[in-house]
Amino acid sequence: MFGKKNESMGVGRIDSLLGAGARIEGNIIFSGGLRVDGEVKGDVKAAPDSGASTLVLSEHARIEGGVAVGHLVINGVVVGPVHVSGLLEMQGKAKIIGDVSYAVIEMHQGAVIEGRLLHLSEQTAEKPA
């Protein structure tokens, strides 16, 4: 029952991992699924031709830069603008400091957004902010 939802949203497939304790300074462009447990100073974006891209940020993850993906599951911190053309899932320890554009949002109790929320229409959902 739950597996079908995750598979259809692309959460079940993680192609790349940035482990805890790792730190990258620079931009990341990825396809498929990326899980971040470490720190990134730079933008994290899905490749334009990647289709259903998924970014998962654990509670230990921190990104200082922009994020532009199809599906974002966040339990860590993002300092910068966030653009999610599909589903934005904010878990209890999630924090975004910056403006957020999204198509669909799910926020758990405890999640924080310090910025403006912009709902995307179907025409603008594919265009990063």
One pLDDT digit (tens) per residue for the chain, 129 residues: 344 444 444 455 888 999 999 999 999 999 999 999 999 999 999 998 877 799 999 999 999 999 999 999 999 999 999 999 999 999 999 999 999 999 999 999 999 999 999 999 865 555 554
Q: Domain limits of the chain?
A: 2-119
Taking the CA atoms of 74, 82, 42 and 97 in sequence, report the sign of the dihedral they define.
negative
Q: How far apart are CA 106 and CA 65, in angstroms?
A: 22
Q: What is the dihedral of CA 91, 92, 98, 102, to 10 degrees?
A: 30
Instruction: Give 79-113 as a DSSP string.
Output: ES-EEEEEEEEE-TT-EEES-EEEEEEEE-TT-EE
What pTM was estimated for this model as a whole? Answer: 0.85
- Pairing between strand 23-25 and 82-90? unpaired
Phi, psi of 6, rounded to the nearest 5 degrees: -65, -40
